[in-house]
Chains A and B, each alone.
Chain A
Amino acid sequence: SASELEEKYGTSINKGLSSSRAAEILARDGPNSLTPPKATPEIVKFLKQMVGGFSILLWIGAVFSWISFGIQFAQGAESPFDNLYLGVVLALVVILTGIFAYYQEAKSTNIMASFSKMIPQQALVIRDAEKKELPAEQLVVGDIVEIKGGDRIPADIRLISAQGCKVDNSSLTGESEPQSRSCDFTHENPLETKNIAFYSTTCVEGTATGIVINTGDRTVIGRIASLASGVGNEKTPIAIEIEHFVYLVAGVAISIGVLFFIISVSMRYKILDSIIFLIGIIVANVPEGLLATVTVSLSLTAKRMAKKNCLVKNLEAVETLGSTSIICSDKTGTLTQNRMTVAHLWFDNQIYSADTSEDQTTQPFDQSSPSWTALSKIVTLCNRAEFRPGQENLPIMKRVVVGDASETALLKFAEVILGDVMSIRAQNKKVAEIPFNSTNKFQLSIHETDDPNDKRFLLVMKGAPERILERCSTIMINGKEEPLDSEKAEAFQTAYMELGGMGERVLGFCHLYLPENEFPDTYPFDTDSMNFPTSNLCFVGLLSMIDPPRSTVPDAVSKCRSAGIKVIMVTGDHPITAKAIAKSVGIISATSETVEDIAKRLNIPVEQVNRREATAAVVNGMELKDMSLQQLDDILCNHSEIVFARTSPQQKLIIVEGCQRQGAVVAVTGDGVNDSPALKKADIGIAMGIAGSDAAKNAADMVLLDDNFASIVTGVEEGRLIFDNLKKTIAYTLTKNIAELCPFLIYIIASIPMPIGTITILFIDLGTDIIPSVALAYEKAESDIMNRRPRNKKKDRLVNEQLAVYSYLQIGIIQSVGAFVTYFTVYAEQGFLPSTLLGVRVDWENNAINDFEDSYGQEWTKYQRMYLQWTGYTAFFVSITIQQVADLIIRKTRRNSIFQQGLFRNKVIWVGIFSQIGIALILSYVLMAYWFVAVPFAILIWVYDEDFKLSLPPLPLTHPC
């Protein structure tokens, strides 16, 4: 009772807490807000970027450079500073890429930060016996707060008085219907009992006063939120792939490096020289610019997705969506429009369908029958909902209505067909009204008619169909009242069942013209004593309403299906409604049956049905509760079309885990706070931007700005595209590594003058190649992208053996050979024939030999040789660049011929090619002729690759599982 409560919380219902007491409790309990999830300190994030990926290798390279600088400097060698600079450059590369990655991450985090900023909430509190507006954060246990319709509940509250109070608990429990609240204790379970209102839910209507019983993290929502932060964040698939790739390349780099370190030591190179070789090999092997390129590509896609209403919080999630194999979707708001709409009508013994699309302007069904005229009049008049003023210019469907969902639906429906409802109501002045209540289950109003000659009053009534029918003795058929015999009642039952079976909410409508003589103009209608007839009315028709699917959803679902993605509906709604929506959007396809359907068709008990025959399943939350994990796995595995109805938030988590046990990459959509654990658990959590709560948005990786399921599908497409394109980028980048590595290996083994310098390699990796590899991210999809199955996490890797082998051992080798031809050409044209070059290294690099004889008998100083060597570097660089152009063109496609894909569809590729050549021109000055030496090899690369693509077996197409 109230006094017990007062005692328990040390407060007074009339006076509230004293300010000083409140301050004490505030100090004890802390502010009434959810503690945000612990953020990693910025500096730690930054340092992580500095040591992740290839950075370690490059740091090693830099440290080695400095060590060899130290040794050389101590020995007084001639040019020790080269190594110092190299080390500095390597360190700079690491730091710059680190800063870049950090910046990118910070940018995407910032987008989200704007979401989590909540408008400071105010609460009306009684303290020191005065009503005060206080920020909700300062509420403490024992405070008395007042709530009215439209407010957000500022804390967990035990109600002590309530007037028609209804709360929307959807963010907590997923129930979309507002629930009434009173001060009566009705249930042991705090979630079920009617006298508690929960933090962050909304009061829809009515007013209430209550005592704060929990604040901050101790509220029910707070506990769920902390549950969410307890669910570990899984590594995204792309992060795993990139890690795999880094290991692979680092493995190659380290093993080749160590191998050649040993070889060079045993070939009696000095240790110091061997270390320098090692640095060169590491630098050649590590694609310095690649991780930055990947980040850029991902953020480009993220931008593109943002334009399509998918706001990506975590860059890597861009790709996750592409590898998604199961989508667990909410129903309300995501698949459906989240507003009741009239879907069917029944009058004149016939069912008519109404247009339920988002932007209806007319209704196509037959409106000529006089029955419809009568029905429409009831719909218009027996309705308390009203448009908010000042919205005349908005489309009807977008206008804001004051009133409950059904009435809103009816109002809009009437407005679409009849035009200005308000003026019709004004012409038919209301004289009396009984609003809907749960005992009567009907709503009634009495109007004057708009016909000035007709002095009768019109009584209109709507409500639960069976209750309405009970009060009727006649039924209107084609405008004529006919007696309601059992045959007609039967027809009514059939129609009612049919509409109900479609998961629709059905309302019955009836009317009665009150006889003029009994009810004259001045008749005093009294709604309490009901001094007018409420039976023997004339039944007019039924209207059924549903929250209709968004018009884009069926198409999106079928796209998912052909893309091999299983769409599972998880909803708190009633199974029948859920199944109806699932059918209408294609989650359950027209031909497939559930176990129950088969049983019904074959007329056998459910137990006897062969469960394997049923492709679809509708699972009730109650059934799910009793299921073992195995049974759940069984269902997830054996049914391709699944709907979970009446599920609780915890069950959503179980379903997600079940899907993940199947090895699937699971996307989950959700909007409520209760969804946040599932969103977090999912491989990619998708929160709704409009309906979503902040907690959901925080837990999610992605936010759908338009709450539309179809946006997910575009997201999937982008995700798959970027995965393909990243593959291309990586293949493109890896190829030239061989052309950069071979010079070192051949230099060590054949002792020729160094063909390419470490810094030159960096020019390629961080100069010419960057823009082209980003350009590949703009590549359009190869035709089959949405007809493929989602990639298998284990088999279909970003960098697989085939890609590595093809890049390294085939295209890479061709490139190296091409570059070496240029190299030998440069030397030969300057006087050193290839035969002279072999084994020449020691003398060539000897500073004292300044009359080094070439193949023609000319004599060279050391510096002249070095200058020639640099020319060689440049020529090597140029020919790698030229061949990278060919590489870029072949990498545009993975399977299609370039003739199919077209050279000009991706304009950015051309920007890439021109930038590549432009940068090379700026960085180098060599004779134009050397640009063309490698061209035959560039052509060879292209021809070879076309043949390779021709030889590929066609991809297996998908068939839904």
Chain B
Amino acid sequence: MGNKTWADLAGEMKTFLWNPEERTCLGRTAKSWGLILLFYFVFYTCLAGMFAFCMYVMLLTLSPYTPTYRDRVSPPGVMIRPYLNGFTIAFNISKRSTWQPYVDSMHHFLAAYDDKVQEEKNIECISGQYFIQGGNESEEKKACQFKRSLLQNCSGIEDQTFGYSRGQPCILLKMNRIIGYRPGAGVPVSVDCKVQKGNESDLRSVDFYPGNGTFDLMYYPYYGKITHVNYTSPLVAMHFTDVKRNSLVPIQCSLHGKGIVNDVNSDRFLGRIIFMLSIGK
């Protein structure tokens, strides 16, 4: 091998690619290639068929309304709105452009909670108890109204800027939906906020709406996307009325209730959320 020149090698390569004498390409004739391709075509088609069949059988065993297992998704995680890029909400009161995106995001998010929309699509439910809807699994489920106006100062109705223009931002807290999950086991889950790390006095007061920052039981359980079409997740608005200005304040808001887990190190969004507030002048 060692004493072949490059030209020889190139020539060999060329005959390997296309050998005009034996009419072979890559060492095989057209017929041989044809047979091989045919074989693999048939082989892979059959395999694809088997794959499809297995998937089909597997999907048949699934219920379209409830996933087979829900052990990985519970207990619920928590998210906030506005959510733009990350978990730092920083703006200067005097510069509208710094907080307008947050306000827009809030308005956009709350559009589905407009009183009119809610009244039109959803029913009023009895507060303080789970709204359990029996009957066939495939029946469409009713959803309870969660009107935007319940959020009072944070509803964006009176104060269109959700307090951002005054340096008292509203932040909405949302608990992740889990099918069939009944949070709190009869006692509504409540929310509180504190400074996560640093001086406790940086966060002097927070107002919670509705109620005292609780998720009413009537919004649970959730029945899933297909039957619970108009379901709107209940929210808790946190009105940070007095937060230290001009500094980055890390805040942790947690859920409290039976069955809620909010102290797992590895998952910082499980039953709690940590975000930064930085309000400038």
Residues of A within 8 A of B (CB): 809-810, 813-814, 817, 820-821, 824-825, 828-831, 833-834, 848, 850-851, 854-864, 867-868, 871, 933, 936-937, 940
Contacts and interface: CB of A to CB of B under 8 A. Distances in A.
A817 B52 CA distance: 10
Q: Kindly list the 7 A-B residue pairs having the minimum CB-CB distance in the complex, ordered from nearest.
A: A857-B225, A861-B77, A863-B267, A859-B176, A831-B67, A829-B68, A850-B269
B54 A936 contact: yes
Contacts of A833: 59, 62
Contacts of B269: 850, 861-863
Interface string B46-62: 01001100110011001
A864 B224 contact: no
A830 B69 CA distance: 5
Interface in B141-189: 174, 176-179
B97 interface: no
A828 B67 CA distance: 8
A860 B73 CA distance: 6
B88 to A, nearest CB: 11
Nearest to A863: B267
A32 to B, nearest CB: 42
A855 B65 CA distance: 10
B256 interface: no
Given A858-B177, A860-B73, 6 more contacts: A848-B83, A850-B269, A851-B77, A856-B65, A856-B67, A937-B50
Given A830-B72, A831-B70, A851-B176, A861 B58 contact: no
B78 interface: yes
A854 B67 contact: yes
A831 B222 CA distance: 14
A857 B47 contact: no
B86 interface: yes
Residue among B50, B67, B68, B267 having the largest count of chain A Cβ atoms under 10 Å: B67
B51 A820 contact: yes
A854 B62 CA distance: 14
Contacts of A862: 267, 269
A871 B87 CA distance: 28
A833 B269 CA distance: 24
Contact of A868 (B51, B72, B177, B225): B72
A833 B73 CA distance: 15
B270 A858 contact: no
Contacts of B231: 857
B16 interface: no
Contacts of B65: 856
Contacts of A817: 47, 50-51
13 contacts: A831-B67, A855-B225, A856-B66, A856-B179, A857-B177, A857-B226, A857-B231, A859-B77, A859-B177, A861-B267, A867-B72, A936-B50, A936-B54
B79 interface: yes
B177 to A, nearest CB: 5
Given A850-B77, A857-B225, A858-B73, A821 B87 contact: no
B67 A850 contact: no
Contacts of B51: 817, 820-821
A847 to B, nearest CB: 9
Contact of B58 (A814, A821, A857): A821
B44 interface: yes
B267 A828 contact: no
B272 to A, nearest CB: 11
Given A829-B62, A856-B67, A863-B267, A821 B55 contact: yes
Interface residues of B, number: 45
B40 interface: yes
A401 B207 CA distance: 114
A820 B51 CA distance: 9
B41 interface: no
Contacts of B87: 848
Contacts of B225: 855-857
Contacts of A809: 40
A825 B72 CA distance: 15
A824 B178 contact: no
Nearest to B233: A859
B58 A858 contact: no
A746 B69 CA distance: 26
B43 A864 contact: no
B228 interface: yes
A859 B76 CA distance: 8
A830 B73 contact: yes
Nearest to A861: B77
B41 to A, nearest CB: 12
Interface of B: 40, 43-44, 47, 50-51, 54-55, 58-59, 62, 65-70, 72-73, 76-79, 83, 85-87, 174, 176-179, 222, 224-226, 228, 231, 264, 266-270, 273
A857 B67 contact: no
A386 B139 CA distance: 111
Given A857-B224, A859-B177, A830 B67 contact: yes
A930 to B, nearest CB: 11
Given A829-B62, A830-B67, A831-B70, A863 B270 contact: yes
A858 B67 contact: yes
A858 B40 contact: no
A810 B36 CA distance: 12
B47 A814 contact: yes
A635 B208 CA distance: 104
Given A856-B179, A864-B73, A868-B72, A828 B62 contact: yes
A375 B225 CA distance: 113
A933 B61 CA distance: 13
A842 to B, nearest CB: 14
Residue among A848, A850, A855 having the largest count of chain B Cβ atoms under 10 Å: A850
Nearest to A927: B69
A936 B53 CA distance: 11
Residue among B76, B226, B264 having the largest count of chain A Cβ atoms under 10 Å: B76
A815 to B, nearest CB: 11
B222 A851 contact: no
A844 to B, nearest CB: 14
A860 B55 contact: no
A860 B66 CA distance: 15
B27 to A, nearest CB: 10
A60 B76 CA distance: 42
Contacts of A864: 72-73, 77, 267, 270
Contacts of A848: 83, 85-87
B178 A858 contact: yes
Contacts of B174: 851
Contacts of B176: 850-851, 858-861
B266 A863 contact: yes
A830 B85 CA distance: 28
Contacts of A857: 177, 179, 222, 224-226, 228, 231
A821 B54 contact: yes
Nearest to A828: B62
B148 to A, nearest CB: 19
Contacts of B66: 856
Nearest to B72: A868
A856 B67 CA distance: 7
A858 B85 contact: no
Residue among A809, A824, A864 having the largest count of chain B Cβ atoms under 10 Å: A864
A937 B269 CA distance: 39
A809 B43 CA distance: 10
A817 B44 CA distance: 10
A867 B74 CA distance: 12
Nearest to A869: B72
Contacts of B226: 856-857
B59 to A, nearest CB: 7
A867 B75 CA distance: 13
Residue among B66, B267, B273 having the largest count of chain A Cβ atoms under 10 Å: B267
A824 B68 CA distance: 13
Given A834-B55, A848-B87, A858 B179 contact: yes
Contacts of B78: 850
Contacts of B228: 857
